[in-house]
Amino acid sequence: MTQKIPVFDFKIGSLEKKYIRDCLDTSFIGQGSYVKEFEKQFSEFVNCKFGITTTSGTTALHLALKTLDIDDGDEVLVSSSTNMACAFSITYCNAKPVPIDIHKNTWQMDTDLIEKKITKKTKAIMVVHLFGQAVDMDPIINLAKKYNLKIIEDCAESLGVEYKGRKVGSIGDIGAFSFYANKTITCGEGGMITTNSDKLAEKARDLKNLCFGKVNKFVHNDIGFNYRLPNVSAAMGLGQLSEISEIFEQKKRIDERYKKNLTGVRGLNIPEISKHTNKFIMWVFNLYLDDRFGVSRDELTTKLKELNIETREAFVPVNMQKVLQKKYNLNEKDCPNSNYIMDHGFYIPSGNTITDNEIDYVSEKIIEIGKK
Protein backbone atom coordinates (compact mmCIF):
# COMPACT_ATOMS: atom_id res chain seq x y z
CA MET A 1 0.00 0.00 0.00
CA THR A 2 1.77 3.14 -1.23
CA GLN A 3 -0.66 5.79 -0.01
CA LYS A 4 0.05 7.08 3.50
CA ILE A 5 -2.34 5.94 6.20
CA PRO A 6 -2.55 8.91 8.61
CA VAL A 7 -2.75 8.41 12.33
CA PHE A 8 -5.90 10.54 12.35
CA ASP A 9 -8.25 12.22 9.92
CA PHE A 10 -11.82 13.41 10.02
CA LYS A 11 -14.85 13.81 7.81
CA ILE A 12 -16.50 17.16 7.11
CA GLY A 13 -20.14 16.55 6.27
CA SER A 14 -22.70 18.55 4.35
CA LEU A 15 -24.24 20.01 7.52
CA GLU A 16 -20.97 21.56 8.66
CA LYS A 17 -20.50 23.11 5.21
CA LYS A 18 -24.07 24.42 5.22
CA TYR A 19 -23.66 26.08 8.63
CA ILE A 20 -20.28 27.58 7.71
CA ARG A 21 -21.68 28.99 4.46
CA ASP A 22 -24.54 30.52 6.43
CA CYS A 23 -22.01 32.29 8.69
CA LEU A 24 -20.16 33.63 5.67
CA ASP A 25 -23.35 34.70 3.89
CA THR A 26 -24.65 36.57 6.94
CA SER A 27 -21.21 38.02 7.85
CA PHE A 28 -21.53 36.65 11.42
CA ILE A 29 -18.11 35.01 11.53
CA GLY A 30 -17.10 36.43 14.94
CA GLN A 31 -19.76 36.05 17.63
CA GLY A 32 -23.26 34.95 16.65
CA SER A 33 -26.12 32.51 16.99
CA TYR A 34 -24.09 29.38 16.26
CA VAL A 35 -21.98 29.94 19.38
CA LYS A 36 -25.07 29.99 21.61
CA GLU A 37 -26.66 27.01 19.86
CA PHE A 38 -23.45 24.97 20.03
CA GLU A 39 -23.13 25.73 23.76
CA LYS A 40 -26.78 24.79 24.33
CA GLN A 41 -26.72 21.50 22.43
CA PHE A 42 -23.30 20.45 23.72
CA SER A 43 -24.24 21.05 27.36
CA GLU A 44 -27.44 19.05 26.83
CA PHE A 45 -25.43 16.21 25.30
CA VAL A 46 -23.09 16.12 28.31
CA ASN A 47 -26.07 16.45 30.69
CA CYS A 48 -24.83 19.73 32.13
CA LYS A 49 -26.71 22.94 32.77
CA PHE A 50 -24.15 25.19 31.09
CA GLY A 51 -21.63 25.05 28.26
CA ILE A 52 -19.17 27.88 27.61
CA THR A 53 -17.10 27.83 24.42
CA THR A 54 -13.40 28.73 24.33
CA THR A 55 -10.70 28.97 21.68
CA SER A 56 -9.03 25.61 22.49
CA GLY A 57 -8.85 22.74 24.94
CA THR A 58 -5.88 24.45 26.60
CA THR A 59 -7.77 27.70 27.15
CA ALA A 60 -10.73 25.66 28.42
CA LEU A 61 -8.48 24.20 31.13
CA HIS A 62 -7.01 27.60 31.96
CA LEU A 63 -10.47 29.17 32.13
CA ALA A 64 -11.67 26.35 34.40
CA LEU A 65 -8.76 26.87 36.77
CA LYS A 66 -9.17 30.66 36.90
CA THR A 67 -12.93 30.28 37.41
CA LEU A 68 -12.14 28.09 40.44
CA ASP A 69 -9.71 30.73 41.79
CA ILE A 70 -6.53 28.68 41.37
CA ASP A 71 -3.73 31.17 41.97
CA ASP A 72 -0.15 31.84 43.04
CA GLY A 73 1.40 29.07 45.14
CA ASP A 74 -1.54 26.66 44.86
CA GLU A 75 -1.02 23.02 43.95
CA VAL A 76 -3.15 21.02 41.54
CA LEU A 77 -2.92 17.23 41.34
CA VAL A 78 -2.95 15.97 37.75
CA SER A 79 -2.41 12.71 35.87
CA SER A 80 1.24 12.51 34.90
CA SER A 81 0.55 10.74 31.60
CA THR A 82 -1.28 13.41 29.63
CA ASN A 83 -0.92 16.14 27.05
CA MET A 84 1.11 18.98 28.57
CA ALA A 85 -1.81 21.39 28.08
CA CYS A 86 -2.96 20.10 31.47
CA ALA A 87 0.25 20.92 33.33
CA PHE A 88 0.88 24.12 31.39
CA SER A 89 -2.59 25.48 32.13
CA ILE A 90 -1.81 25.04 35.82
CA THR A 91 1.47 26.94 35.44
CA TYR A 92 -0.40 29.79 33.69
CA CYS A 93 -2.07 30.35 37.08
CA ASN A 94 1.34 30.43 38.81
CA ALA A 95 0.30 27.19 40.51
CA LYS A 96 2.25 23.92 40.72
CA PRO A 97 1.25 20.75 38.85
CA VAL A 98 1.70 17.69 41.07
CA PRO A 99 1.86 14.52 38.93
CA ILE A 100 -0.06 11.38 39.88
CA ASP A 101 0.92 8.07 38.31
CA ILE A 102 -1.38 5.87 36.22
CA HIS A 103 -2.40 2.22 36.14
CA LYS A 104 -0.19 0.59 33.52
CA ASN A 105 -2.94 -1.69 32.24
CA THR A 106 -5.55 1.07 31.66
CA TRP A 107 -3.41 4.27 31.44
CA GLN A 108 -5.87 5.98 33.83
CA MET A 109 -5.00 7.94 36.98
CA ASP A 110 -4.30 5.72 40.01
CA THR A 111 -6.66 7.18 42.60
CA ASP A 112 -4.98 5.24 45.44
CA LEU A 113 -1.94 7.53 45.06
CA ILE A 114 -3.79 10.83 45.40
CA GLU A 115 -4.26 11.32 49.13
CA LYS A 116 -0.58 11.10 50.06
CA LYS A 117 0.14 13.90 47.56
CA ILE A 118 -2.33 16.32 49.17
CA THR A 119 -0.76 19.18 51.13
CA LYS A 120 -2.01 22.41 52.69
CA LYS A 121 -1.37 24.05 49.31
CA THR A 122 -3.51 21.61 47.31
CA LYS A 123 -6.59 23.33 45.91
CA ALA A 124 -7.82 21.06 43.11
CA ILE A 125 -7.59 17.70 41.35
CA MET A 126 -7.43 17.74 37.56
CA VAL A 127 -8.79 14.38 36.44
CA VAL A 128 -7.79 13.35 32.91
CA HIS A 129 -10.09 10.80 31.26
CA LEU A 130 -7.68 9.33 28.71
CA PHE A 131 -8.22 7.43 25.45
CA GLY A 132 -11.99 7.05 25.73
CA GLN A 133 -12.08 5.78 29.30
CA ALA A 134 -13.22 7.20 32.64
CA VAL A 135 -11.15 7.62 35.78
CA ASP A 136 -12.67 6.17 38.97
CA MET A 137 -14.46 9.30 40.23
CA ASP A 138 -15.97 8.17 43.55
CA PRO A 139 -12.65 8.15 45.49
CA ILE A 140 -11.82 11.55 43.99
CA ILE A 141 -15.18 13.00 44.99
CA ASN A 142 -14.69 11.67 48.53
CA LEU A 143 -11.21 13.19 48.78
CA ALA A 144 -12.46 16.50 47.40
CA LYS A 145 -15.12 16.62 50.12
CA LYS A 146 -12.67 15.59 52.83
CA TYR A 147 -10.04 18.22 51.92
CA ASN A 148 -12.30 20.89 50.39
CA LEU A 149 -10.82 20.53 46.90
CA LYS A 150 -12.22 21.43 43.50
CA ILE A 151 -12.47 18.89 40.65
CA ILE A 152 -11.70 19.69 37.01
CA GLU A 153 -12.37 16.95 34.46
CA ASP A 154 -10.25 17.00 31.31
CA CYS A 155 -12.48 15.21 28.80
CA ALA A 156 -10.59 16.10 25.62
CA GLU A 157 -10.23 12.42 24.71
CA SER A 158 -13.45 11.06 26.18
CA LEU A 159 -16.48 12.85 24.75
CA GLY A 160 -19.61 10.77 25.43
CA VAL A 161 -17.86 8.38 27.84
CA GLU A 162 -19.83 7.44 30.95
CA TYR A 163 -18.90 6.67 34.54
CA LYS A 164 -21.64 4.82 36.42
CA GLY A 165 -24.26 6.22 34.06
CA ARG A 166 -22.99 9.82 34.22
CA LYS A 167 -21.21 11.44 31.30
CA VAL A 168 -17.71 12.68 31.98
CA GLY A 169 -17.63 16.45 32.19
CA SER A 170 -20.78 16.50 34.34
CA ILE A 171 -19.33 14.94 37.50
CA GLY A 172 -16.76 17.44 38.84
CA ASP A 173 -17.06 21.18 39.38
CA ILE A 174 -16.07 21.93 35.76
CA GLY A 175 -15.46 19.78 32.69
CA ALA A 176 -13.10 20.81 29.88
CA PHE A 177 -13.28 19.61 26.27
CA SER A 178 -11.15 20.10 23.17
CA PHE A 179 -12.27 20.39 19.54
CA TYR A 180 -8.80 20.21 18.01
CA ALA A 181 -8.53 18.50 14.62
CA ASN A 182 -7.80 15.06 16.10
CA LYS A 183 -10.59 15.06 18.68
CA THR A 184 -13.91 13.17 18.51
CA ILE A 185 -15.62 16.24 17.07
CA THR A 186 -13.68 19.19 15.74
CA CYS A 187 -13.96 22.90 15.01
CA GLY A 188 -10.44 22.83 13.59
CA GLU A 189 -9.53 24.39 16.93
CA GLY A 190 -11.77 25.14 19.90
CA GLY A 191 -12.84 24.14 23.38
CA MET A 192 -15.72 24.08 25.85
CA ILE A 193 -16.17 24.05 29.60
CA THR A 194 -19.25 22.54 31.22
CA THR A 195 -20.71 23.05 34.68
CA ASN A 196 -23.94 22.75 36.64
CA SER A 197 -23.17 25.83 38.74
CA ASP A 198 -24.89 29.12 37.87
CA LYS A 199 -22.19 31.03 39.75
CA LEU A 200 -19.27 29.32 37.99
CA ALA A 201 -20.90 29.67 34.57
CA GLU A 202 -21.43 33.40 35.06
CA LYS A 203 -17.85 33.90 36.22
CA ALA A 204 -16.42 31.83 33.35
CA ARG A 205 -18.40 33.79 30.75
CA ASP A 206 -17.12 37.02 32.24
CA LEU A 207 -13.50 35.88 32.36
CA LYS A 208 -13.46 34.56 28.79
CA ASN A 209 -14.84 37.85 27.49
CA LEU A 210 -12.23 40.26 28.95
CA CYS A 211 -14.37 41.01 32.04
CA PHE A 212 -16.07 43.98 30.39
CA GLY A 213 -17.78 46.36 32.81
CA LYS A 214 -21.54 46.28 33.43
CA VAL A 215 -22.06 50.07 33.26
CA ASN A 216 -19.12 51.25 31.19
CA LYS A 217 -17.99 48.36 29.00
CA PHE A 218 -14.40 49.58 28.98
CA VAL A 219 -14.04 49.78 32.76
CA HIS A 220 -13.13 46.13 33.34
CA ASN A 221 -14.15 44.42 36.57
CA ASP A 222 -11.23 41.95 36.57
CA ILE A 223 -8.31 40.77 34.44
CA GLY A 224 -10.00 38.68 31.78
CA PHE A 225 -9.07 36.85 28.60
CA ASN A 226 -10.13 36.85 24.98
CA TYR A 227 -11.13 33.20 24.74
CA ARG A 228 -14.14 33.74 22.47
CA LEU A 229 -14.78 30.99 19.91
CA PRO A 230 -15.65 32.45 16.49
CA ASN A 231 -19.16 31.85 15.20
CA VAL A 232 -17.83 30.12 12.10
CA SER A 233 -15.93 27.62 14.27
CA ALA A 234 -19.02 27.00 16.38
CA ALA A 235 -20.99 26.37 13.19
CA MET A 236 -18.57 23.59 12.28
CA GLY A 237 -18.74 22.17 15.81
CA LEU A 238 -22.54 22.20 15.78
CA GLY A 239 -22.56 20.31 12.50
CA GLN A 240 -20.14 17.74 13.90
CA LEU A 241 -22.22 17.35 17.06
CA SER A 242 -25.30 16.65 14.94
CA GLU A 243 -23.43 13.66 13.48
CA ILE A 244 -22.11 12.33 16.80
CA SER A 245 -23.97 9.01 16.60
CA GLU A 246 -22.40 8.22 13.23
CA ILE A 247 -18.97 9.23 14.55
CA PHE A 248 -19.38 6.91 17.53
CA GLU A 249 -20.38 4.05 15.23
CA GLN A 250 -17.24 4.54 13.16
CA LYS A 251 -15.11 4.52 16.31
CA LYS A 252 -16.78 1.31 17.46
CA ARG A 253 -16.08 -0.31 14.07
CA ILE A 254 -12.41 0.66 14.17
CA ASP A 255 -11.93 -0.44 17.78
CA GLU A 256 -13.60 -3.81 17.28
CA ARG A 257 -11.68 -4.63 14.08
CA TYR A 258 -8.29 -3.77 15.56
CA LYS A 259 -9.09 -5.83 18.66
CA LYS A 260 -10.15 -8.77 16.50
CA ASN A 261 -6.89 -8.54 14.55
CA LEU A 262 -4.43 -7.81 17.36
CA THR A 263 -5.75 -9.48 20.51
CA GLY A 264 -3.44 -12.28 21.63
CA VAL A 265 -0.36 -11.15 19.69
CA ARG A 266 2.62 -12.00 21.86
CA GLY A 267 4.12 -8.92 23.53
CA LEU A 268 1.52 -6.54 22.06
CA ASN A 269 -0.81 -5.21 24.74
CA ILE A 270 -4.16 -3.51 24.30
CA PRO A 271 -5.01 -1.42 27.39
CA GLU A 272 -7.84 -2.88 29.44
CA ILE A 273 -11.13 -1.02 29.74
CA SER A 274 -11.36 -0.05 33.39
CA LYS A 275 -14.28 -1.47 35.36
CA HIS A 276 -15.26 2.13 36.14
CA THR A 277 -15.97 2.91 32.48
CA ASN A 278 -19.50 1.72 31.80
CA LYS A 279 -19.55 3.36 28.36
CA PHE A 280 -16.26 3.25 26.44
CA ILE A 281 -15.81 5.33 23.28
CA MET A 282 -12.44 4.91 21.61
CA TRP A 283 -10.56 8.13 20.93
CA VAL A 284 -7.60 6.57 19.09
CA PHE A 285 -6.41 2.96 19.20
CA ASN A 286 -3.54 2.77 21.67
CA LEU A 287 -1.13 -0.09 22.38
CA TYR A 288 1.97 -0.84 24.40
CA LEU A 289 4.72 -3.41 23.93
CA ASP A 290 6.63 -5.61 26.31
CA ASP A 291 9.91 -7.48 25.81
CA ARG A 292 8.19 -10.52 24.29
CA PHE A 293 7.25 -8.63 21.12
CA GLY A 294 10.69 -8.93 19.54
CA VAL A 295 11.42 -5.31 18.63
CA SER A 296 11.18 -2.06 20.58
CA ARG A 297 8.40 0.48 20.20
CA ASP A 298 10.72 2.86 18.35
CA GLU A 299 11.92 0.12 15.99
CA LEU A 300 8.32 -0.84 15.25
CA THR A 301 7.11 2.70 14.59
CA THR A 302 10.15 3.42 12.38
CA LYS A 303 9.42 0.36 10.24
CA LEU A 304 5.73 1.31 10.05
CA LYS A 305 6.72 4.78 8.88
CA GLU A 306 8.75 3.21 6.08
CA LEU A 307 5.52 1.48 5.04
CA ASN A 308 3.61 4.81 5.03
CA ILE A 309 1.80 3.93 8.26
CA GLU A 310 1.73 6.89 10.62
CA THR A 311 1.87 6.45 14.41
CA ARG A 312 2.27 8.60 17.52
CA GLU A 313 4.27 7.83 20.64
CA ALA A 314 2.64 7.95 24.06
CA PHE A 315 2.87 11.17 26.06
CA VAL A 316 6.08 12.20 27.77
CA PRO A 317 4.72 12.51 31.34
CA VAL A 318 4.66 15.58 33.54
CA ASN A 319 7.40 14.24 35.82
CA MET A 320 9.73 13.77 32.83
CA GLN A 321 9.39 17.28 31.37
CA LYS A 322 12.71 19.04 31.94
CA VAL A 323 11.14 22.49 32.03
CA LEU A 324 8.77 21.38 34.82
CA GLN A 325 11.42 19.39 36.70
CA LYS A 326 13.56 22.49 36.95
CA LYS A 327 10.77 24.86 37.89
CA TYR A 328 8.97 22.63 40.42
CA ASN A 329 11.68 20.20 41.54
CA LEU A 330 9.80 17.19 40.18
CA ASN A 331 11.28 13.70 40.56
CA GLU A 332 11.51 11.87 37.24
CA LYS A 333 11.24 8.50 39.02
CA ASP A 334 8.03 9.47 40.79
CA CYS A 335 5.66 7.95 38.21
CA PRO A 336 7.12 4.61 37.01
CA ASN A 337 4.02 3.44 35.14
CA SER A 338 3.77 6.69 33.21
CA ASN A 339 7.46 6.37 32.38
CA TYR A 340 6.96 2.81 31.15
CA ILE A 341 4.10 3.83 28.86
CA MET A 342 6.22 6.75 27.60
CA ASP A 343 8.83 4.27 26.36
CA HIS A 344 6.52 1.45 25.21
CA GLY A 345 3.17 3.03 24.31
CA PHE A 346 1.89 4.37 20.98
CA TYR A 347 -1.24 4.67 18.92
CA ILE A 348 -1.98 3.69 15.35
CA PRO A 349 -4.19 5.02 12.51
CA SER A 350 -7.69 5.51 13.93
CA GLY A 351 -9.31 8.29 11.94
CA ASN A 352 -13.00 7.99 11.15
CA THR A 353 -12.40 7.51 7.43
CA ILE A 354 -9.97 4.58 7.74
CA THR A 355 -11.24 1.55 5.83
CA ASP A 356 -11.43 -2.04 7.03
CA ASN A 357 -8.79 -2.97 4.43
CA GLU A 358 -6.44 -0.32 5.84
CA ILE A 359 -7.04 -1.55 9.40
CA ASP A 360 -6.23 -5.09 8.28
CA TYR A 361 -3.09 -3.90 6.48
CA VAL A 362 -1.83 -1.98 9.53
CA SER A 363 -2.54 -4.98 11.77
CA GLU A 364 -0.81 -7.39 9.39
CA LYS A 365 2.33 -5.26 9.22
CA ILE A 366 2.54 -4.86 13.00
CA ILE A 367 2.34 -8.62 13.43
CA GLU A 368 4.90 -9.25 10.66
CA ILE A 369 7.43 -6.82 12.17
CA GLY A 370 7.06 -8.42 15.60
CA LYS A 371 7.84 -11.87 14.21
CA LYS A 372 11.08 -10.85 12.44
100-124 mean pLDDT = 98
Residues 186 and 136 grouped into a single domain: yes
Specify the pLDDT at position 372.
67
Specify the pLDDT at position 366.
98
Specify the pLDDT at position 64.
98
Specify the pLDDT at position 207.
97
Specify the pLDDT at position 2.
67
Residues 366 and 304 grouped into a single domain: yes
Count CB-CB contacts under 10 A for residue 266: 11
Q: Is 269 helix (H, G, I), strand (E, B) or coil?
A: strand
pLDDT exceeds 90 at position 13: no
160-179 mean pLDDT = 98
- H or E stretch covering 62: helix 57-67
What is the reported pTM?
Answer: 0.96
Count CB-CB contacts under 10 A for residue 102: 26
Residues 249 and 220 grouped into a single domain: no
Residues 307 and 176 grouped into a single domain: no
Please count the structural domains in the chain.
Answer: 2
The share of the chain scoring above pLDDT 90, in percent, equals 91
Q: CB neighbours of 328 closer than 8 A, spacing ≥ 6?
A: 96, 97
Domain membership of residue 9 (yes or no) is no
Domain that holds residue 356: 244-371
- For CA atoms 132, 126, 192, 84, give the dihedral sign: negative
67-78 mean pLDDT = 98
Residue 72: C-alpha distances to residues 59, 152, 252, 285, 314 (Å): 18, 18, 43, 38, 31
Distance CA 213, CA 250 (A): 46
Specify the pLDDT at position 213.
86
Domain membership of residue 4 (yes or no) is no
* Packed helices 33-46 and 231-242: angle between N→C axes, nearest 10 degrees: 40
From the list 22, 63, 15, the residue with the least C-alpha distance to 231 is 22
Residues 199 and 156 grouped into a single domain: yes
CATH number, domain of 155, equals 3.40.640.10
Distance CA 83, CA 285 (A): 16
Residues 289 and 233 grouped into a single domain: no
pLDDT exceeds 80 at position 148: yes
DSSP annotation of 188: B
Specify the pLDDT at position 111.
98
